[in-house]
């Protein structure tokens, strides 16, 4: 077994850039430390170990951000990013000077030009990370730059302390909050042009929030799913073939589903397996167009490809980008062609579906 593990590590390092290998391997080690065999979680240690950055009202590389509570009843917070012309605000001094642009933004009038609003849900298998985690702060800044819009990164409640459907409820609350904000409307018709996006568990959340939006007649301009986390009881070919080879094991994935799903549920619960035996089809619903990014070396890639096919079978518009030689997390570091080409796919998808 030890020899097999060594072969897997060596194979992984020949495919994955060194910096990505170090980043994801460090996550894997720390995540293993935080998961307890009884299904509980070392939350205090997780908060201590998670590398985070504060919001920056002073623009950095043309992007400013601030944290804002959107539902005090459950402590739901979001980090809001926007593009700022130049770095003029960086010269401002004092708390009052930094607070004023935030208040002006929150109370501002709709933009006369169409403005995309991306509601983003971070990954972490429902248990890890936050809107302030460094890798997700960096990713949201990149989304602002390529979309020329606003990003609302949702700090949803995490499992196992907050099981299904808490993350979905928080995603829905974020969408309803965005709907009520005049400063997020844009264009001559002054309406919200909103996209839902997320990676891993965040992609799963984006799907389920989009389904509810379709049911309630709220227009979503597009879904952007990066390595979305889906599962099921019956193992797929990619799950068997890639188990433990590129950072993730089936045992890891099973732990997270057990931590998030209702205590009496299995992995064919609709939260995990939306088109499975207990799921529902979306034919006839005005479901959003989808951009689905799949890493071919993610052990759940068959799940994601099956999800894309399920949407197509139900008559929905899907743009599938299958990067066969990419691993999980490739979109977190700008050190591969996969990263740059997928970022351009996202930018084009937003531009094409803005109106």
pLDDT tens, residue by residue, 167-176: 999 999 999 9
Q: Give the pLDDT of residue 95.
A: 45
Active site residues: 200
Please give the average per-residue pLDDT across 266-274, as a whole number.
98
The strand pairing partners of 116, in sequence order, are 193
pLDDT of 85: 74
Q: Average pLDDT, stretch 183-208?
A: 97
CA 347, CA 355: separation in Å to the nearest integer?
Answer: 14
Place 7 in a pLDDT band, splitting at 50, 70 and 90. very low
Structure token pair of residue 259: 């931590």
pLDDT value, residue 46: 97
Average pLDDT value for residue range 321-344 = 96
pLDDT tier for residue 104 given thresholds of 50, 70 and 90? low
pLDDT for the residue 14: 56
For the residues 329-353, what does the mean pLDDT come to? 97
What percentage of the chain has pLDDT greater than the value 90? 86
**pLDDT band at residue 76 under the 50/70/90 scheme:** very high
Mean pLDDT of 111-123: 96
Which carries the bigger pLDDT value, residue 235 or residue 100? 235
Q: What is the pLDDT of residue 109?
A: 74
pLDDT computed for residue 88 by the predictor:
46
Q: Which two tokens stand for residue 338?
A: 């996969």
Block residue for tokens 């799940």 = 303
Q: What is the percentage of the chain residues whose pLDDT exceeds 70? A: 90
Structure tokens at 248: 């993730």
| 261: nearest Cα among 155, 167, 197 | 167
Task: Quote the mean pLDDT of the chain.
Answer: 92
Q: Has residue 100 got a pLDDT over 70?
A: no
Q: Tell me the pLDDT band of 90, cut-offs 50, 70 and 90.
A: very low
| Predicted local confidence at residue 98, as pLDDT | 47
Stronger pLDDT, 201 or 94, i.e. the higher one? 201
The number of residues in the chain equals 355
Predicted confidence at residue 15, as pLDDT, reads 76
pLDDT at res. 1: 46
DSSP 237-270: HHHHHHTTTSS--HHHHHHHHHHHS-TT--TTST
pLDDT reading at 9 higher than 70: no
Quote the pTM value: 0.93
Least confident of 17-26, 33-42, 152-161, 293-302: 17-26
Beta 290-295 vs 318-323: how paired, if at all? parallel
The C-alpha atoms of residue 58 and residue 140 are separated, in whole angstroms, by 16
Cα–Cα distance, 128 to 47 (Å, whole number): 9
pLDDT at 86: 55
Q: Of 130, 197, 118, 133, give the one whose Cα is nearest residue 158.
A: 130
- Which of 15-29, 66-80, 340-354 has the weakest average pLDDT? 15-29
> Using omega within 30 degrees of 0 as the cis cutoff, is the peptide bond preceding 165 cis?
yes
Give the model's confidence band at 107: pLDDT under 50 very low, under 70 low, under 90 confident, else very high: low
Whether 87 has a pLDDT exceeding 60, the answer reads: no
Q: Which domains does the chain have, with CATH numbers?
A: 20-83+96-353 (3.40.50.1820)
């Amino acid at each position: 077994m030890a020899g097999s593990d060594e072969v897997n590590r060596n194979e992984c390092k020949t495919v994955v850039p060194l910096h990505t290998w170090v980043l994801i391997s460090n996550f894997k080690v720390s995540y293993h430390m935080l998961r307890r065999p009884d299904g509980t979680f070392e939350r205090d240690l997780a908060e201590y170990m998670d590398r985070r950055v504060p919001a920056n009202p002073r623009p950095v590389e043309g992007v400013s951000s601030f944290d804002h509570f959107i539902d005090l009843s459950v402590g739901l917070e979001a980090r809001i990013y926007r593009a700022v012309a130049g770095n003029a605000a960086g010269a401002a001094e004092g708390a009052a000077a930094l607070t004023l642009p935030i208040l002006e933004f929150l109370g501002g009038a709709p933009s006369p030009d169409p403005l995309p609003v991306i509601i983003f849900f971070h990954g972490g298998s429902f248990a890890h990370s936050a809107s302030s985690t460094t890798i997700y702060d960096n990713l949201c800044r990149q989304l602002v730059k390529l979309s020329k819009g606003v990003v609302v990164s949702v700090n949803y409640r995490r499992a196992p302390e907050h099981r299904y459907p808490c993350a979905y409820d928080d995603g829905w609350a974020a969408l309803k909050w965005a709907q009520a904000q005049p400063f997020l409307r844009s264009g001559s018709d002054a309406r919200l042009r909103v996209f839902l996006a997320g990676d891993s568990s965040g992609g799963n959340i984006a799907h389920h929030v989009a389904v509810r939006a379709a049911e309630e007649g709220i227009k979503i301009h597009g879904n952007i799913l990066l390595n979305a986390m889906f599962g099921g009881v019956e193992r797929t070919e990619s799950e068997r073939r890639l188990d433990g080879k590129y950072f993730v094991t089936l045992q890891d994935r099973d732990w997270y589903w057990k931590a998030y799903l209702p205590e009496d549920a299995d992995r064919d619960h609709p939260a995990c397996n939306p088109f499975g035996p207990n799921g529902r089809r979306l034919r006839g619903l005005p479901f959003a167009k989808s951009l689905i990014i799949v890493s071919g070396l993610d052990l759940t890639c068959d799940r994601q490809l099956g999800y894309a096919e399920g949407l197509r079978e139900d008559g929905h518009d899907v743009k599938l980008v299958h990067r066969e030689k990419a691993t999980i997390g490739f979109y977190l570091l700008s050190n591969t062609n996969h990263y740059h080409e997928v970022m351009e796919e996202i930018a084009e998808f937003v531009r094409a579906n803005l109106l």
